[in-house]
Amino acid sequence: MKIKTDAPFDMIVIGASGDLAQRKLLPALYFLHKHGDLSPTGRIIGVARHEWTQDEFLRTAEASCRKYLDQGDFSDDDWSSFARRLHYLALAATEPESYADLARLLAQDGEDAERRARIFYLATPPDLYGSISHAIAAAGLITSGARIVLEKPIGSDLDSAAAINASVGEVFPEDRIYRIDHYLGKETVQNLMALRFGNALFEPMWRSEHVDHVQITVAETLGVEGRGAYYDQSGALRDMVQNHLLQLLCLVAMEPPSRLAQDAIREEKIKVLRSLRPIEGEDLARKTVRGQYREGAIAGQSVVGYLEEPDTDPASGTETFVALKAEVDNWRWAGVPFYLRTGKRMGHRVSEIIIQFRRVPHLLFTDQANAIQDNRLVIRLQPDESIKLALMIKTPGAGMALRRVHLNLNMAETFEERPALAYERLLMDVIRGNATLFMHRTEVEEAWRWIDTILEGWEARGDRPRYYNAGTWGPPESIALVVRDERAWYEHLV
Ligand code: BG6
């Protein structure tokens, strides 16, 4: 189903010269335009400190769209009509007096201004979120249809996140604040809800009586890609686990919400976050692994180690890989480990959720005890989205030989529609005013509370990351994390 909106809007992208705006937001908006999903009067106004002219901005935006969209998705005609929506203004976003030109441009709609959705998209460092919100308010730009979009990371720990939330909350009410986690915009992530709650089949099985364990892997082949300065202060736990992986864990573990409404879903996710058992003390060594990549090769190309990346500290102790054993202390999940793992410069780019079911309770095929493999549901988010269910069946012919086969639902083969980019979907939801796929302030803070305990524990222990060669699956300790429980990571299981 295609979602369009006739809602007139002004989307003000603050930080329009930055990596996020150029790499993700502008290409996604271009797509929405190209497919006719945006109101014809919708405007996109880039602002940043850069003293660019309108032409310079357009040239940069065009180059980014060409670079980050697949060949064939970009056309000169679509670009020139898209470019008519684009405006650029140089301004210092934390200074209210700097907003005069923007105020003039926005006022061009006269009385209509109150009816238009006015969206402030903050693609800036998070420590500016509070002061930018206050500057927008002081410049008198908050209309009844105004909303603000905040990119992750919201803060770098619980205290800084709470301070940002409080400061932005002084200006925008919670229901006007859209905290983005772009993983929630991914098609297969949303499919997780469809799979769980649109089928009678899985829900009765979705609990500790039947599930042995869950694995969530988000492996990237990319390194820090020019973001060394940010990344070195952050690391994989803050950059990926606090948000993307914990959101995935919440969607797997949450109870069925009463409705498909934003509050109902968020409440269930918050309950999961509050049920996460803190990892502290002796458990840190057993249940967490930090890694950092050294030089190696990705797809036959040699790449430098993390310490040689531009803008990282040559003695940095920042982790580029993390593996964890998380436990959800509630009735449904008691005793079921959730193994989480993410890393940069790994052997393959793959994001997957594995639900490993328990062994059959009674072995009928005694002569084939070794052939029996437990059922497994593999939800692949990227690349090549798919949902696979591993089952045992009898091989054709005489006798009773069993073999494992897969029921395989490949999204690209099953549906003709092109799946929307995560940002396309989320930007559309902001314009439509639907916050279901965005995070509530409490979600962000509860996730930080759990992460902070780990960060503090590492700090207290003086923990340093283990090395792994670029192009591998992380340090050997990560294998030990699951082998200790007599289990294995999925790539060793297939
Ligand atoms: C971002 C992280 O949130 O997600 C990046 O800051 C990471 O470090 C990216 O590369 C991964 O997103 P995706 O959609 O490519 O899996």
What is the mean pLDDT, run by run of 10 residues, along the chain of 494 residues?
73 94 95 92 95 94 92 90 96 94 84 79 95 96 93 95 98 96 90 92 94 97 90 96 97 93 91 98 96 95 96 96 98 97 96 94 75 88 91 87 89 83 92 92 97 97 94 96 94 68
User: Which one of the listed residues 134, 244, 348, 406 is annotated catalytic?
Assistant: 244
Q: Coil, helix or strand for 446?
A: helix
d(CA 345, ligand 1 centre) in Å: 12
Ligand 1: which residue has its CA nearest to atom 15? 220
Which of 20, 152, 220 has most ligand 1 atoms within 8 Å of CB, for mutation? 220
Which are the contacts of 157, defined by CB distance < 8 A and separation ≥ 6?
448, 451, 452, 455
- For residue 118, list its beta bridge partners: 10, 146
Distance 167 CA to ligand 1 centre (A): 26
pLDDT at 111: 56
Q: What is the pLDDT of residue 108?
A: 76
Asked if residues 13 and 46 have their Cβ atoms less than 8 Å apart, the reply is: yes
Q: How many CB atoms lie within 10 A of CB 460?
A: 11
| Predicted pLDDT of residue 104 | 92
Beta strands across the sheet bearing 117-122: 86-90, 43-48, 9-14, 117-122, 146-150, 177-179
Give the distance (Å) from ligand 1 centre to CA of residue 240: 7
Look up 35 and say whether it is catalytic. Answer: no
How many CB atoms within 10 Å of residue 312?
22
Q: Which atom of ligand 1 is nearest to the CA of 239?
A: 6
In Å, how far are 21, 252, 419 from 488, measured between CA atoms?
A: 39, 20, 32
Q: What is the pLDDT of residue 449?
A: 98
DSSP state of 243: I
Residue whose CA is at the smallest distance from ligand 1 atom 8? 239
CB of 220 sitting under 6 A from ligand 1: yes
What value, to the nearest 5°, has the Cα angle with vertex 194 and ends 188 and 196? 105
Q: What pLDDT is stored for residue 110 in this prediction? A: 59
Q: At residue 105, what is the residue type?
A: L
Q: Is the CB of 239 under 6 A from ligand 1?
A: yes
**Shortest-distance atom of ligand 1 to CA 234:** 6
Helix (H) or strand (E) run with residue 372 in it = none
Candidate from 19, 181, 239 with most ligand 1 atoms within 8 A of CB, to mutate: 239
Residue 402 host element (H or E): strand 402-410
Short-list 459, 455, 437, CA closest to 447: 455
**SS3 at position 29:** helix
Whose CA is closest to atom 7 on ligand 1?
A: 240
Instruction: Tell which atom from ligand 1 comes closest to the C-alpha of 222.
Output: 10
Kind of pairing, strands 376-382 and 350-357?
antiparallel
Distance 65 CA to ligand 1 centre (A): 18
Q: What is the pLDDT of residue 113?
A: 66
Q: How far is the CA of 326 from the centre of ligand 1 (A)?
A: 21
